A and B are shown apart, each in its own frame.
Chain A
Amino acid sequence: MSIKGKAFIAGAYEHPDREIPGKSPAQVHAEVALGALADAGLSLSDVDAYFCAGDAPGFGTISMAEYLGLGLSYMDSTETGGSSYVVHVGHAAAAIAAGKCQVALITLAGLPRSGDFGRPPFGGAPEGAFENVFGPTVLGMYALAAQRHMYEFGTTSEQLAAIKVAASHHAQHNSRAFLQDVITIEDVLQSPLVSDPLHRLDCCVITDGGGALLVVSPEVARDLDRQCVKVLGEGEAPKHTNNGRIDLTHTGALWSGPRAFREAGLTPADIDYASIYDSFTITVLETIEDLGFCEKGKGGSFVMDGALHAPHGKLPFNTDGGGLCNNHPANRGGMTKVIEAVRQLRGEAHPKVQVPDCSLALAHGTGGSLGTRMGSATLILGREDA
């Protein structure tokens, strides 16, 4: 039993704004839901399954089903941080394959740029008292991973900076991107050190926004005019501190990646385009190693010389500008990773960054922190005829 070919992404929508004052989180969830439905040529009354994560207000699936007027036969509020929406695609495909539903709606929305940080996370976490008293910051926890990766493999700040530079080259073509200027490695290195060895420009943007996806059965996909994208495989894994034996040099992609490739019957060499979770530059570096695009420890040399640049690099990545430059709505980047992979497979990325004849794509999510614990998810998608 696998999900390969059993479900299709029929609708994908990214909220156009990066700062959304004057709207509620529920309203933005609804706006992106309607956007994805319009993209697919479906309506709210067609939806029989709904997926949302920790960014959804109130009672999650229940509150949003009420707000949107949804009657549902299936719901899932799996919360793995920013990777949740990658997981949701896999879970939706599995539910469709099992005959539980036909049209699954997935939404994300949040307004951190406008000062609304949503529901407080991690209340009562058993590990909390042993960590939060020492002043960990979001960036600091990734800096710990970067420092150790540098120590073990000789990775440099220049190599990390090259990842941001590649994202900026893509973002210049995205008129909605939060940061649209092309920058250089020097620009990154000269930006302030916030938590050694990471600089301000090693970070993603903080944006309001949201996105939505519609995952549908093959029967529903067949009747739609819109070009759909085939779900080929999904893998997921938690990675945590492992009883105090944390290894900071890899992510959960080490486990989620092979599961997804196995289900899809593909290898990293088959992938034409990759959306790689990019909360920080080090997140990308470790993930491309873990997914098998290069050897462990060789990510630094891999990303130099334009490897990540679309359309002709070895591994064109994050052609919307990614979280590093375009959008990181609700501090959760998994949704936009899937959306840009869908654009590439439909041939609807910006012409300057559209990968020619793109037929197989990967979207990877990392939710939580490289420095402690994360939920990792890898999704492999193909063109409708893949």
Chain B
Amino acid sequence: MSNMKKEPEKQRSSKGRRLSKEKHSSENRSLSKENRSTENRDLSKDRRAIIKLAVTLFLITSITAVMLAGVNALTKEPIANLKIETRNKALLAVMPNSTVLEDKTFTTETLTIFTLERPNGSYGYCVEVAPYGFGGPINMIVGIEVVMNEGRYEKRVVGVAITSMQETAGLGTKANDESFLSQYNGLFYPVQNEDGTLNISPSAITIGRGDVDVDAITGATVTSLAVNRGVNTALDAITVNAEGQVTFDGSVDGTSGATTSNSEDNSTSMYLSFSSMDDIWEVA
């Protein structure tokens, strides 16, 4: 410790000497060889000082990195567990008392569809999407069931839950309020038109104010629109044919809501995860 205390003093004094010498040498730059050799010595001293600085900074950075690695190792597991726990909690909040059928989970790069067995024996689908909000992706889960209504199938929103977001605290975070999210419950999208043909237009739950399906949050329009886009995307990701058979559409982009690639590619990606025909089930 005593060595360390002396160091800055030494440095300072040598610096002072160097400064005066530099002044001196610049004045008589071309005069004598002696001066030039002291300049060289100064340069090597400078170099040593710079290396010392670099080494010190490197040491500080490495110690910090090691410390962070320790904290990371300590918290990695709880964080990962918490993420799964939040996800499962959100799945069950959307569809209470259901069991997640892990082997029937369908994943693309931008969305995940969980299949749940509901208490009455029917299947429910929870689509995990991440539309881009005001401050980054809003991770949300949209619960959808397929039901028969007046002879026609429809995709109906059972519930919406937000698992994580980076929206403005106090404004955008209101998207997580029950009063906003519950507006989606029961909204539906008919699978068939009235004449029996398949309804292929994309889902369009409207949001805003006035004559719309969902009232937007005041002061958080971007967030509200993002959540709405997420719900519409989720509805589109689940395709139902006229017989009520459910397939998952991998072409839907869960981050933006736009359909990315052509449908042929997606059907293959779809069947990759559902190898046998038994895996495409009828809605009870």
Question: Is chain B a partner of chain A in the same complex?
Answer: no
Residues of B whose CB lies within 8 Å of any CB of A are none
Residues of A whose CB lies within 8 Å of any CB of B are none
